[in-house]
Copies of this chain bind each other. A is one copy, B any other.
Amino acid sequence: MDWTPLIETSRGPLVECQHWGAVAVTDRDGRLLAHAGNPQVRVFTRSTIKPFQALPLVQSGAAQDLGWGTDELAMLCASHSGESFHARQTARMLASAGQGPGALQCGQHPPLFTQLGLADVALEVGDTPSALHHNCSGKHAGFVAYCVRHGLPLADHLEPQHPLQQAVRAALAQVTDTPEAELVMGIDGCSAPNYALPLQRLAQGYARLAGGWPAQPATDAALRALADAMVARPDLVSGTGRHDLDIMRAGRGDWVSKTGADGVQVVGSRSRGQAFALKVLDGNITAQVAAAVEVMAQLGWLDAAQVEALAPRRAATIATVRGRAVGERRPVLQLQWVV
């Protein structure tokens, strides 16, 4: 059985709902440290691989040539909320590559903050939703910039056979110690090629992103720059009220946290050189975040202030509309220790 209960809700004396999934915890060498369910289960990585999709741009020096620093590198890795400051940053990145929003091939969806029902967020007056507000627009601006800097055609730059996507694929395979032939491709919602990996391999990639990869100095420098940017600007990577922002703020620079659609979450600890990847089989994002916090707790990553900061994400009271507690959402996963 690949999957195990991670999170459940109760009502009165009974369990009412359960969210099943799997977790893998590894170090930078990919050694499995702990798991729940099958750590080898192969899951589509979705937006968790954005830092690796940015590797060709950063490692080739093209980002530096464009004068891109912390903000731009954070945006490359973002599944942002589509707030006005995200759209503006993407527009600046495109402009610095001599391009405009029309070069983005991600399409346009209502800003994520509206889809997530984040009521306290609004676009600035005069800002109109466009492809710049697509949650992946930063990644796509990076794709466009890579093509411009390397003299590659823009028209087909999301095709799996395009040199950019081949470079992305090679980078992902390298950093996750996965033979390219074992990467299973699917197309993500933003039209970019995406890849399925065993959870353990995805965790290893994040252990290297967070903790470095001394054996590969060139890749190590690019990974470090991307991780530095993510923890410096989690508001760009994520958005107002979002969980990756909360987690990275609580981590005070140590945790590199990234959500992926349909229940994927990865968090790496820079000080420990370790990371975990998890998938909630049903894709429920509340359970995904709760499981991530519980894994951090069981790994001993949380001090008292961090326990408190993340407590509402980890568990919650289920209440009537009038506010009486009638059940709870709680973690039930138990990490199994390997070494």
Contact = CB atoms under 8 A, between A and B. Distances in A.
Nearest to A10: B186
Contacts of A324: 187, 191
Contacts of A106: 321-322
A194 B284 contact: no
Nearest to A186: B12
A191 B322 contact: yes
A14 interface: yes
Given A281-B17, A326-B186, A107 B12 contact: no
B186 A14 contact: yes
A42 interface: yes
A188 interface: yes
Given A13-B186, A191-B321, A320-B189, A18 B109 contact: no
Given A186-B327, A187-B326, A282-B282, A196 B321 contact: no
A157 interface: no
A69 to B, nearest CB: 29
Interface of A: 9, 11-14, 16-20, 42-44, 105-109, 134, 184-191, 194, 196, 262-263, 281-284, 287, 320-324, 326-327
11 contacts: A11-B187, A11-B196, A12-B185, A12-B186, A12-B196, A14-B44, A14-B196, A16-B186, A17-B281, A17-B283, A190-B321
Contacts of A187: 11-12, 320, 324, 326
Nearest to A195: B12
Given A13-B184, A184-B14, A189 B321 contact: yes
Contacts of A327: 186
Contact of A18 (B184, B196, B281, B322): B281
Given A11-B194, A284-B282, A327-B186, A321 B17 contact: no
A42 B13 CA distance: 12
Contacts of A283: 9, 16-17, 284
A191 B11 contact: no
Given A17-B283, A18-B281, A107 B188 contact: no
Contacts of A105: 322
A30 B184 CA distance: 47
Nearest to A263: B17
Contacts of A185: 12
Given A16-B283, A17-B281, 13 more contacts: A9-B283, A11-B186, A11-B196, A12-B185, A12-B196, A16-B43, A16-B186, A18-B281, A187-B320, A189-B320, A189-B321, A191-B322, A282-B284
